[in-house]
Chains A and B, each alone.
Chain A
Amino acid sequence: DAGVIQSPRHEVTEMGQEVTLRCKPISGHNSLFWYRQTMMRGLELLIYFNNNVPIDDSGMPEDRFSAKMPNASFSTLKIQPSEPRDSAVYFCASIPLRDSLSGYTFGSGTRLTVV
């Protein structure tokens, strides 16, 4: 089991540029989550999907953020245009739907720096 795979690990971009973060969940996990971690706000949920369908995107900060899950093995989080305040660590996590035994498995995160 390769775990949840995120890419890139680090991203440095200039303000105004488009940024795309990628996530591959664990095979067989039908729920996928995007979290953001900042010093100011801690860990907060941005959006999550069940069976590739967005269920709750109330945590997406504004229209500059969008997320997609075109199939069960891939999701993207896009920021366009990026701003310095978007600098954070973005985590992806997955879990089997309605699993009652395990914790959420997180990827290693993408550290985004917008200059």
Chain B
Amino acid sequence: AQKVTQAQTEISVVEKEDVTLDCVYETRDTTYYLFWYKQPPSGELVFLIRRNSFDEQNEISGRYSWNFQKSTSSFNFTITASQVVDSAVYFCALDRGSTLGRLYFGRGTQLTVWP
């Protein structure tokens, strides 16, 4: 069975603080894909990153960085120098390589950045 766990339901930080959102996944597949999506208060789902299971390189995009560790089945997301505009719900998701198309979402982490 596929499962994505985001243990942090809510996180609050003050602007300019760094914050890490945790994601732990379960799958027996050897090929799979991991995603992060952002859902701002307006409600849309914004794609942030896709990572393939065979590529464990960490990725940095501006203030965002992702740490993928297969040994611990984790795909954590760090925002450096957080800003008020980062306030949103962030979802981690898993897609099985064998049946490309079905995303298994975690329950999301509500991030609030205070000025």
Query: Which residues of chain A have a CB within 8 Å of any CB of chain B?
Result: 31, 33, 35, 42-45, 48, 50, 55-56, 89, 91, 93, 95, 98, 100-109, 111
Contacts and interface: CB of A to CB of B under 8 A. Distances in A.
Interface in B25-46: 35, 37, 43-45
Given A42-B107, A43-B91, A106 B44 contact: yes
Nearest to B42: A108
A92 B106 CA distance: 18
Nearest to A59: B102
A101 B50 contact: yes
A102 B45 contact: no
A42 B105 contact: yes
B45 A91 contact: yes
27 contacts: A31-B100, A33-B102, A35-B103, A42-B108, A43-B103, A48-B101, A48-B102, A55-B101, A56-B101, A56-B102, A95-B101, A98-B100, A100-B52, A101-B50, A102-B50, A103-B35, A103-B47, A104-B47, A104-B103, A105-B47, A106-B44, A106-B45, A106-B47, A108-B43, A108-B44, A109-B43, A109-B44
A104 B100 CA distance: 11
Contacts of B93: 43
Nearest to A44: B105
B9 to A, nearest CB: 12
The 5 A-B pairs of least Cβ separation, nearest first, read A103-B47, A106-B45, A43-B105, A42-B107, A103-B50
Q: Is the interface of A mostly helix, strand, loop or mixed?
A: strand
A46 B100 CA distance: 15
B47 A102 contact: yes
A32 to B, nearest CB: 9
B26 to A, nearest CB: 16
A43 B106 CA distance: 8
A7 to B, nearest CB: 14
B29 to A, nearest CB: 15
Among B45, B48, B49, B102, the one with the most A-chain Cβ atoms within 10 Å of its Cβ is B45
Contacts of B44: 106-109
